[in-house]
Structure 1
Amino acid sequence: MPGMRMRGNPRVYGAAGASVLAAAVTARYIAKWRQRRTTRGPGGGREIGGGRCFIGLDLSDPTAAQKRPCDYAVLDTELVCTFGQWDYREDASHIIPDRAIGRSFILAIDGPQGLAGSPEATMRESERRVNAPGRTPYTLPADGKPYSGLIVGSVRLFHRLVESGSRFRLLGMDGTPASNATLIEVFPGGGWKVVSNGTKLPSKRTLDGRHARAELLAGLGVQLPSEDSFTDDQLDAAMAAWTAYKLWVGEAVIEGEGPRWDTEAGVIREGYVVQPAPAPEAEGAEGMAAA
């Protein structure tokens, strides 16, 4: 493995890069085995396939002085990935990409769905468990505080989506199970830690970091577009979409406290964060594949 090059990167990686590539090779084998499995749904067994898609949305700060579009990624059940952008609107109009219109979907948003559940709390339980850098307090944060614009925009967006009707069924809201959810919150930063087996990746804002994450996605079976490079926001969106896929196939971890309405404040409180489940040991996967 030493001496291998990252795709599109002229530099040769050392030990850390080799560990990343080794993890990706293992993940590729496990992912291919999983794609062949039959999963269980409300109607019994079903083969992976069909018209379902998984949308990952990397939310940007809608209050920033220099606003930028939100990047999204769409995966189908064969893990073919496409990218696009959505201009933030609090009313959530046009949030579903054209590729997903008319299809069953799960929308995974990288941003908090609700506020903390108690007045003395400085963050939600889910954020504590996944070690998220953003901390969502009991009340909407004032301008100028870290992540304040992103938190306010995300909490209001989730509220609007859930309030809009049965199309957006938030995981855990009113007892909505994973098998029926179409809206979830994710934390790609935690997802990268899971799929890299704890290996510290280069910063996502560097070329090395983006190449490492693209290699990991390819190792998981995600078929990225043919471009030579991707932005860190696109890759986070792809991780969000892949996490939604993992929830659908029953290989995800749900962290935190379930969401509930606070009608007086007009917000959702707490809420789950979905993370991909750690991969089983390679030997275990081989044994199950042979069974």
Structure 2
Amino acid sequence: MRFLGWDLSDPFARRPRAVDVAVVEEDGRVAFEQWAWPALDAARHLTPQALLAACPVGPTDVVVVDGPQALARPGAQVREAERLLRAPGRTPDTLPVPGAPFSGFVRGGVLLFAALHQGSGLPLLDLDTPHPHEARLFEAFPGATWRQLGGKALGKKTTPEGRTARRARLEAEGLRFSGTGLPTHDALDAALCAWLGWRTRSAPERVHAVGTPLWKDAEGWLREGRILHAG
């Protein structure tokens, strides 16, 4: 079993940043990869087929994504989990059109979760199982979890000092980084996501989910959804 953490970017940007991927093995070893978003089609859409081809998942992988899994409940402009964890990106009740801040990021996340659930059969928390140790596709918000693990003591995430502190904190939690290079802050966010997934199997009492349980509406859209969190 592998635990994958994905730090999403905006696939609708003019030049989308590659998605940072952390792969954590069952013994805590960490490796880093990147995958590129697929090209948009002629109508500037992301198709489920293209998304599945761009981000293959193994038959036993657990995937934790820094990106929104679902839309808000009808009539709401933010999901309850995002409000509780003070996420800067707010997901409305309809799929946003790229252009405004965070809109492309939100749209990409919602479409990716739908493609993974439908195409790869990854069980989602609440929709497919109430138990985190049985689900294999989760959402995380690293900003909130870093606050839980160290807060201001970790420093600014973009500085070498902040990145060193974050790597050390994950090492104290059992992850094993190879080499001497210092991961980028995006890679460390991906590692934090993978660590949360790892904890759902190795120490399920160390994680919980925040927000409103996930459901699928009459039109097939995923709505609300809980965010995996430490503590």
1:92 equivalenced with 2:92 (yes/no): no
1:190 equivalenced with 2:150 (yes/no): no
Task: Report the AA paired with residue 188 of structure 1.
Answer: P
1:138 equivalenced with 2:93 (yes/no): yes
Partner residue in 1 for 2:64:
108
1:118 equivalenced with 2:67 (yes/no): no
Partner residue in 2 for 1:254:
209
Judged with a 3 Å threshold, the aligned counterparts in structure 2 of structure 1 residues 176 and 203 are, in CA distance, closer, same or farther, namely same
Q: Distance in 2 between matches of 1:129 and 1:258?
A: 14
Q: Which residue, out of 149, 153, 166, partners 2:104?
A: 149
Q: Residue 240 of structure 1: SS of its match in structure 2?
A: helix
Q: Distance in 2 between matches of 1:220 and 1:181?
A: 22
TM value normalised by structure 1? 0.71
Task: Report the AA paired with residue 53 of structure 2.
Answer: S
Partner residue in 2 for 1:214:
167
Quote the RMSD (CA, aligned, Å): 1.7
Which structure 1 segments of 5+ residues have no match? Answer: 1-51, 278-291
Partner residue in 1 for 2:42:
none
Q: Distance in 2 between matches of 1:201 and 1:144?
A: 33
Task: Report the AA paired with residue 62 of structure 2.
Answer: I
1:258: Cα distance to partner?
Answer: 1.1
1:132: Cα distance to partner?
Answer: 1.0
Partner residue in 1 for 2:132:
178
What percentage of residue pairs aligned between the two structures are identical? 36
Q: Distance in 2 between matches of 1:179 and 1:57?
A: 19
Aligned length: 218
**Runs of 4 or more consecutive aligned structure 1 residues displaced over 6 Å after TM superposition:** none
Task: Report the AA paired with residue 92 of structure 1.
Answer: L
1:94: Cα distance to partner?
Answer: 4.4
Q: Distance in 1 between matches of 2:127 and 2:120?
A: 13
Q: Which residue, out of 23, 27, 51, partners 1:74?
A: 23
Cα pair 1:53 1:75 within 8 Å, conserved: yes
1:142: Cα distance to partner?
Answer: 2.8
Task: Report the AA paired with residue 231 of structure 1.
Answer: T
Cα pair 1:174 1:260 within 8 Å, conserved: no
Q: Distance in 2 between matches of 1:165 and 1:61?
A: 22
Q: Distance in 2 between matches of 1:56 and 1:134?
A: 19
Q: Residue 154 of structure 2: SS of its match in structure 1?
A: coil
Partner residue in 1 for 2:180:
227
Q: Residue 214 of structure 1: SS of its match in structure 2?
A: helix
Partner residue in 1 for 2:84:
129
Cα pair 1:116 1:124 within 8 Å, conserved: yes
1:117: Cα distance to partner?
Answer: 0.6
Task: Kindly name which structure, 1 or 2, has the bigger radius of gyration based on alpha carbons.
Answer: 1
Q: Distance in 2 between matches of 1:156 and 1:242?
A: 24
Q: Distance in 2 between matches of 1:175 and 1:202?
A: 37
